[in-house]
Amino acid sequence: MRILLILCLFIAGLFSQDAADIKKKIKESGLSESQIRQMAKQRGMSEAEIDAKAKEIKGETGGDAPMSSIEEIPEVGLDEVSLILNIEESLLEETEIEQESMVQPGEQPILYFGYDIFKRDPALFQASVFGAVDPNYNIGPGDEIIIMLWGETQFRQVLRVDREGFIFIPEVGQVFVNGLSMDLLESKMFNVLSQRYSSLVRSNGGNATTFLDISLGNLRPLRILVVGEVAQPGAYRVSPSTTLFSSLYYFNGPTTLGSLRDVQLIRGGKQIATIDFYDYLLSGKKQADVRLQLDDTIFLPPRGKTVSIQGEVNRPAIYELIDGEGLLDVVKLAGNLKVSAYLDRIQIDRIVPFNERESLGMDRMYIDVNIKELIDSANNYELLDGDVIQIFPIIDLRKNYVEIRGNVERQGSYEIEDGMRISDLIELAEGLMSDVYLDLAHLVRINENLTEDLFEIDIGAALDGDENENMELQPFDAVLIYNKNTLFNAFKTVEINGSVKRPGRYPFFEGMTMNDLLIHAGGFSKNVYRVKLEVMRVDPHDPNALQLGQLLLIPHFFTIDDFGNNFHNDELGVLQAHDVVFVRADPYFKLNQRAQITGEVFYPGEYAILHTNEFVSDIIKRAGGLNPDAYPEASTLTRNNVDINIDLNKIMKSSGSNIDFQILAGDEIYINKHPNLVYVNGEVNNPGALKFRPGQSVRDYINEAGGYTSQADKKDISVQFPNGEGSSVSQYWISPIVMDGSIISVAAETREDIDKTELAKEITAILASMAQVIAIIILAQP
């Protein structure tokens, strides 16, 4: 953004504008740095001059850098300064024009064809500054002329044409060259130099000994004028190789109100060339292109007859027409019709001309045109300004097919042929599947009034050649062929639930046994060894409506070892379709139940639970008892991820009593060491861990922690002992002795904030009441 601001300041001449205003206008205009640089070039500045001036303004100019003075910048005037400073207004104006012009009533907005190409960076489309110079190029002020002599006399001079049109040749003098073409310049230089260098004259038998060559170096930018329907009319400086086509990119082309098909070049007050920019956009050809000269004028007249075309064309847009172009020409401009276009009717939405509105009694009208007839007859159709052409798509309907669905190898839609019958369609679908129901199929036929008829077909008879069953097909017919197994519910199942790895529903097979079903279900669940089996069976021939089914009970247990042996028994027999099997695990069978003990015992680890009436004290004894470092009052029993504080000292003294815990599978017992710490939390001045000292009380530890804070509630003090017991401590009674590992907590005092306003009101009301009582007493005295 910094270099952009500097460039813009330079283009604006560094005159009369506040930097903040210019910066704001640049930001709002949205111009890129390349666009700012291009504008500078258009006004006669080279890349070196732009870079040098930018460095000078930033304070980076070196002592040896070549600089151009303000006076050397050719013809930068206040009118050109305004081109930059007013860019915001011009851009807004063009945008408003486009938005207003693109929208046609009742139609989707489409773009004007061709105008968007000028919205890109102009540098992408400029003509090259290199290459041969036009022989008709007129020499003018600022051009460089290179004169070379070789042979008997040799020298090379680079001469610049001054403002009066002269060049100065050493030892010759001033020569006027303004307005000369290359041929005339070379002829004049030969005549002038031959007077000074006699070897140029043909002598010595007609053989010259000195030779002359004239060429051009740096050429001055051409100044051209642009008027008409452009966003910013005025003077522009362009490359000397610019043509009428390439010049349009310098000023971003015409607005959408300007014509792209009648771009006019005016020279010396006369129109000398006209180009149709559509030729370039549609074919890439630059027909009738002309190289520009100094002070040429480019005129963009208003846009001519304009129509829009949308729908089934390859390039929907708004197009400008020239004299003689009609509907077929618009279709060609739009990239021709798509293959999906409907040719029998296209529609033109037309604005009725002024002189016909009264007689027709309407302002707009629809016109339907058969474009197929126009194409066949090569007759065009005249269009009016503002016409909106709509090309409709064909109907998405196919009329030459029949359909087959169901139990065939390849169901779908097929092309119908003359005399096709049901058997022919089945053959096209690669035949029937093996489980097809041959006795009945259906043919659905759509009538002209869109009603449907249903025909019953014996597929077996149709395939055997029975013409009554093998009906001839008509377009849109649908043949429906059915699956025999699906119709007769041939796919039967059995179900298994309970203590198996994969309970659920499984396919039923004739002769299927319980052993087969259990293997399908993955066998017994984990940790299950013995099971009982129940089978719920439905008898389809039982006439008793109140009997829902029959329950088959097997009284004895089956084990994993019975797989393949005893599951087939007289009580159960083979399974039947729709049986539901329940697998009940033996509730009294358990795998090894274990508990874990860690911490300060002689033999920590896992221990098997020997019977259902085993206690924590029993596990402690089996682990060798507590070692000397154990702190039994601070032990923990973890059951189902819940920690329970226990006092093993009391438990071991009363083994098996109501304070002893019955051990369960998965229990974890942890015996701590003495921590030799007491924790004081809450409203004390120095909360934290303190060293345990035997015989000290709660009050002693609070004092050691710095005493109470001002927020402490001395009536709310509690202590939690390591065995899980706790108590509330009163400051007025004897402070209890603290055990190792205890936690002392001092709560904060709860205070109710007093609303001073409400308090003042209450006091005022009380004083007022007292004053009234006193006044009554005084008045009551005689």
Give a three-class secondary structure readout of 417-474: CCCCEHHHHHHHCCCECCCECCCCEEEEEECCCCCEEEEEECHHHHHCCCCCCCCECC
* Range with the poorest average pLDDT among 83-97, 147-161, 345-359, 595-609: 83-97
pLDDT for 421 equals 93
Angstrom CA distances, 360 to 352, 384, 709, stand at: 8, 16, 101
- Average pLDDT on 591-607 reads 87
Residue 17: closest CA among 5, 29, 27, 28: 5
Instruction: State the average pLDDT over residues 47-56.
Output: 59
Using an 8 Å Cβ cutoff, are 523 and 507 in contact?
no
**CA distances to 190, 197, 590, 617 from 194, in Å:** 6, 5, 129, 134
Q: Give CA–CA dist 615/597, Å, rounded.
A: 13
Domains, the chain, ranges and CATH?
1-85 (no CATH), 113-132+220-303 (3.10.560.10), 144-216 (3.30.1950.10), 306-393 (3.10.560.10), 401-487 (3.10.560.10), 493-585 (3.10.560.10), 594-673 (3.10.560.10)
Q: Quote the pLDDT of residue 444.
A: 95
Q: What average pLDDT does the structure give for the chain?
A: 80
Highest mean pLDDT among 27-36, 61-70, 368-377, 730-739 belongs to 368-377
Distance CA 321, CA 326 (A): 8
Q: How far apart are CA 325 and CA 162, in angstroms?
A: 51
Main-chain dihedrals φ then ψ at residue 192, nearest 5 degrees? -70, -45
| pLDDT for 68 | 31
CA dist., res. 759 & res. 767, Å (int)? 12
What's the whole-number mean pLDDT along residues 112-127?
Answer: 71
The answer to whether residues 385 and 408 touch, using CB atoms and an 8 Å cutoff, is: no
Q: Quick count: other Cβ atoms within 10 Å of Cβ 778? A: 8
Residue-wise pLDDT for 448-481, tens only, equals: 888 999 999 999 999 998 989 999 999 999 999 9
Q: Is 307 helix (H, G, I), strand (E, B) or coil?
A: strand
Distance CA 187, CA 28 (A): 54
Distance (Å, rounded) from C-alpha 603 to C-alpha 663? 18
All residues at 6 or more sequence positions from 266 whose CB lies less than 8 Å from its CB, including other chains: 272, 296, 297, 298, 299
More confident residue, 733 or 312: 312
| pLDDT recorded at residue 105 | 45
Q: Are 182 and 253 in contact (CB under 8 A)?
A: no
> pLDDT at residue 369 above 70?
yes
> Taking the alpha carbons of 776, 777, 780, 782 in that order, is the dihedral positive or negative?
negative
Q: What is the pLDDT of residue 123?
A: 56
Collect all residues with Cβ–Cβ distance below 8 Å to 287 and sequence separation of at least 6: 275, 276, 279
Q: Where are the beta strands (DSSP E) in 186-340?
A: 210-216, 222-228, 234-238, 263-267, 270-275, 297-300, 306-311, 317-320
Q: In what order do the strands lie in the sheet with 605-608?
A: 605-608, 594-599, 668-673, 630-639, 642-646
Q: ∠568-573-576 over CA atoms, to 5°?
A: 120
Instruction: Indicate the residue type of 616.
Output: V
> pLDDT tens across 574-592, in order?
888 889 999 998 887 776 7
Read off the pLDDT of each residue in 88-93 and give the average, rounded to a whole number: 40
**Least confident segment among 80-89, 189-198, 249-258:** 80-89
CB contact at 8 A, 436 and 484: yes
- The label of the residue with tokens 């041959």 reads 438
- Cα–Cα dist 248/167, whole Å: 33
**E strand or H helix at 713:** strand 712-720
Q: Give residue-wise pLDDT tens across range 481-527.
A: 999 888 887 788 999 999 999 999 999 988 888 888 988 999 888 88
| 197 close to 157: Cβ distance less than 8 angstroms | no
3-class DSSP state of 349: strand
Query: Exposed (0-12), middle (13-18) or buried (19+): which is 775, by Cβ within 10 Å?
Result: exposed
- Which residues touch 697 (CB under 8 Å, ≥6 apart)? 734, 735, 736, 737, 738
How high is the pLDDT of residue 507?
Answer: 92
Q: 272 to each of 275, 278, 287, 560, how far by Cα in Å? A: 11, 19, 14, 108
Rounded Cα gap, residues 171 and 193, in angstroms: 10
The confidence band for 695, taking pLDDT boundaries of 50, 70 and 90, is confident
**What whole-number distance in Å separates Cα of residue 404 and Cα of residue 426?**
8
- For the chain, the first-to-last Cα distance in angstroms comes to 99
pTM above 0.75, yes or no: no
Q: How far apart are CA 534 and CA 513, in angstroms?
A: 14
Least confident piece of the model among 72-81, 385-394, 438-447: 72-81
Q: What residues have CB less than 8 Å from 538, skipping those under 6 apart?
A: 548, 549, 550, 578
Q: What is the reported pLDDT for 11?
A: 47
Q: Which residues contact 660 (CB under 8 A, 6 or more apart)?
A: 615, 616, 617, 651, 654
Q: Would you tell me how many other CB atoms lie within 10 Å of the CB of residue 436?
A: 20
Averaged pLDDT for residues 340-347: 93
